[in-house]
Amino acid sequence: MLNRRLFLAALTAAGFVPPRLASADLSLIRPPRVRAGDKVVLVSPATAAFETQPMEIMVDAFRALDLQVTLGENFYERHGYFAGTDAERAADINAAFADPSVKMIFARGGWGSARLLPLLDYQAIAANPKVLLGYSDATALITGVHAKTGLVTFHGPTPVSRFSADHIRRVIMDGEALEMRNPVDIPDGKTVQTEDRIQVLRPGKVRGPLLGGNLTVLTAIMGSDYLPRFDGAILFLEDVNEAVYRVDRMFTELKLAGILDRIAGFVFGRCTECDPDSSYGSLTMEEVLKEHILPLGIPAFSGSMIGHIGEQFTLPLGAEAELDASAGTLRLEESAVT
């Protein structure tokens, strides 16, 4: 019987090329920082914008950051539940990267960003780096672009709340090497903090590139060429409206794919509306996290302000950061923009 080395050599001689993650040989590209007065384009790479008022609020939120706001040409298009056909939605992203007057692109969520990944012009994106921001379904977009180009992309929300706007400004506009720490807020009549608490899964500090996003979306593109290398990374995850058993299943997928065994640190944000089913026996979210993460022996904590919540951090994919699980902090080691 051939040993493993001879077996691989035989496969290679036969023309087999083992799969390789897309960003293996790419250099990190930091986009230029966004400045007051710059132009931001809002695109809909996923679900259609069915109502105009939420979109008007989104526009006003970016204007509050002293940015000029325009909408992608196909922003209000409809194709079933999508904001236009795949080609139309991808065209808006490609056009925004090709336009030298655009300094930032914000991608709405829903479902459908992953369908666009084969249609994007990655050569043009790498040649025209700019801030690409989004979360939720946009996890596929920001992860795929980072994997294919090396561009630092950003996991973050519409800047509706002052907290979120402040973090977008500090990370994307000021280029601050920011420490992200949950705010301490002890309400009147309380003796301890009851909201926005972190939970230490395993103490310790570690440094590595930040990678991650929405758990459901990330696992949906596993096995494709649109994932970066996770070796030595700090993985952050969040989700919304998922049954605990499905979260357990997705962590199992990450384990079986070898991703969890490669990471150096782990942060879980929030799983909004992910309560266990009380009618039958169920693991809790805490138990799922501990069963999958504790055996890795790496620094880890949960409860960070990442996810489908009103106040969120802005996390740059690919940027070096330090995780301090005991303190519940993520600190950028360098500016994510130039």
Residue whose tokens read 């666009």: 116
146, 155, 292, 308: the active-site residue = 308
CA-based nearest residue to 22, from 212, 222, 156: 222
Alpha helices in 79-173 (DSSP H): 86-98, 122-127, 139-149, 162-168
238 belongs to the catalytic site: yes
Catalytic option among 238, 242, 302, 304: 238
Task: Let me know how many helices (H) and strands (E) the chain has, helices first.
Answer: 9, 14
Pairing of strands 131-134, 102-107: parallel
Tokens of 327: 């303190």
Q: One-letter amino acid identity for 194?
A: T
Name the residue with tokens 């150096």: 264
Spot the catalytic one: 23, 136, 164, 302: 136
Count CA within 13 A, CB hemisphere, residue 192.
2
Query: Tell me, what amino acid is at 67?
Result: L
Q: 155 an active-site residue?
A: no
Query: H helices within the chain, ranges in order?
Result: 4-13, 53-63, 86-98, 122-127, 139-149, 162-168, 215-220, 244-256, 285-293
Beta-bridge partner residues of 179: 331
311 given a catalytic annotation: no
Q: CA-CA distance, 98 to 92, in Å (whole number)? A: 10
In this structure, is the dihedral angle defined by the CA atoms of residues 127, 128, 129 and 133, taken in order, positive or negative? negative
Nearest to 330 by CA among 272, 239, 264: 264
Q: Which amino acid is at 287?
A: E
Angle, vertex CA 257, rays to CA 254 and CA 263, nearest 5? 65
| Residues forming the active site | 136, 238, 308
